[in-house]
Amino acid sequence: MTDVYAVIGNPIGHTKSPLIHGLFAEATQQDMVYSSIEGRIGQFAADMAAFRTAGGRGMNVTAPFKLDAFACATERSPRAQMAGAVNALKFDGDRVIAENFDGVGLTRDVTHNLGCALQGKRVLLLGAGGAARGALLPFLEQQPASLVITNRTLDKAEALAKEAAAHGPVSACAYAELVGQQFDVVFNATSASLRAELPPVPAAVFAPGALAYELAYGKGLTPFLRLAQQAGVSQLADGVGMLVEQAAEAFAWWRGVRPQTGPVIERLTVPLV
Ligand code: NDP
C-alpha cells in the first residue's frame, strides 16, 4: 500500500517539500506520496488528527505550527526538546513521535556539503528564534572553540546560551558588543532577509577565510550575504542545502533509506547574485 506523508503550514503554497520528497522517493524507489496541507490557525491538533485518521504516516511541520506540533507530541527527541519546536512527526499507533531536523540538516550542509568543519572554529549565530534554537545542540556537538549568540532582543539570546551552557562553550552578547570580535563562521538565523533587512552586524566580524551562511534560501544575494561579500568573504552560502538535508534526515527517519541530496540541492539552487 502506498504510504502517505505531508507538510503542513500556513501559508503553504511556497513549499518545496513535496518536490524534494518526490525526488527522494523516486530515487530510492519508495512507494509513497507526499502532499502539502494548508493547516488552519488554532486547529493544528484537529488537522493532524484528520491526517492520521486518513492513514498518514508522518508529517513535516513548518511555520506557524512548529510549537503546536511540539505540544501535540507524545514523545520528543532531545533536539526537539532543546529547540522547543518540531519540524517532523512520525505516527506509530497511538504514538506521535517528534523530531527537529533543522539544526542537524544545517550542520550537515556546512560540514559535509560545504566542507567546513566547525570543530575548533569561532562560530557566530545571529538570531534566537526557532531556527537558531534548533541549531544549538548540533553545533555544539561539533565542538567549536566558541559559539556566540546575538539577538536584537538580547534576553532571548541570553536565555538560549544559559539553556545550552551544559553542552559546550556558548555565550550571548549584544550586536554592539561584536565590535572588535572576529569569527570563522557566521550564520544569519534571523528572519531579516525575508524582508530584505540587514541585522546590525558589524562588517568586521568576518575573519579571513570565513564562511557566511544565510539560513533563508532562494533569495539570491541577501543584505547579509552582500555585507559579507563586501567585507571580502568569498565563501557564501544560503539555506537551500539545509532545506534539502533536513528533508533527507526526515526521509531516512521515516523510510530507513538515506537519499542522495546533491542532485536535489543542485536542482533547487538559486545563484547568489
Ligand atoms: P523566528 O521568527 O523564530 O525568529 C526570527 C529571528 O530573527 C529572531 O531572533 C528575531 O529577533 C530576528 N530578527 C527578525 N528581524 C530582524 C531584524 N531586522 N534585525 C535583527 N534581527 C531580526 O524565525 P525562524 O527562526 O523560524 O527563521 C529564521 C530564518 O531561518 C528565516 O530566514 C527562515 O527562512 C530560515 N529558515 C531556513 C530553513 C531552511 O531549511 N533553510 C528552515 C527554518 C528557517 P527578535 O527576537 O529580536 O525578534
Q: Where is 89: in which H helix or E strand?
A: strand 88-92
- Mutation test residue for ligand 1: of 14, 152, 188, 222, the one with most atoms within 8 Å of CB: 152
What's residue 93's pLDDT? Answer: 94
Residue found by looking up cell 556558548 in the block: 170
Q: Boundaries of CATH 3.40.50.720 in the chain?
A: 103-238
Q: How far apart are CA 46 and CA 49, in angstroms?
A: 5
Class for domain 3-100+243-268, per CATH? alpha beta
Active site residue 66: yes
Q: Where is 138: in which H helix or E strand?
A: helix 130-141
Instruction: Work out which ligand 1 atom sits closest to the CA atom of 133.
Output: 25
- Whether cis (ω within 30° of 0) applies to the bond prior to 199 is no
Rounded mean pLDDT, 51-58: 97
Return the percentage of the chain with pLDDT > 70, whole number: 100
CA atoms within 13 A on the CB side of 266: 4
Is residue 129 lining ligand 1, measured as CB closer than 6 Å?
yes
Check if CATH label 3.30.870.10 holds for domain 103-238.
no
pLDDT in tens, 180-215: 999 999 999 999 999 999 999 999 999 999 999 999
Rounded mean pLDDT, 132-147: 96
pTM over 0.75: yes
Is residue 223 lining ligand 1, measured as CB closer than 6 Å?
no
CB 220 within 8 A of CB 245: no
Strands 235-237 and 88-92: unpaired
What's residue 181's pLDDT? Answer: 98
Instruction: Indicate the pLDDT class of residue 1, thresholds 50, 70 and 90.
Output: confident
Q: How far apart are CA 209 and CA 133, in angstroms?
A: 26
Q: Boundaries of CATH 3.40.50.10860 in the chain?
A: 3-100+243-268
What's residue 36's pLDDT? Answer: 98
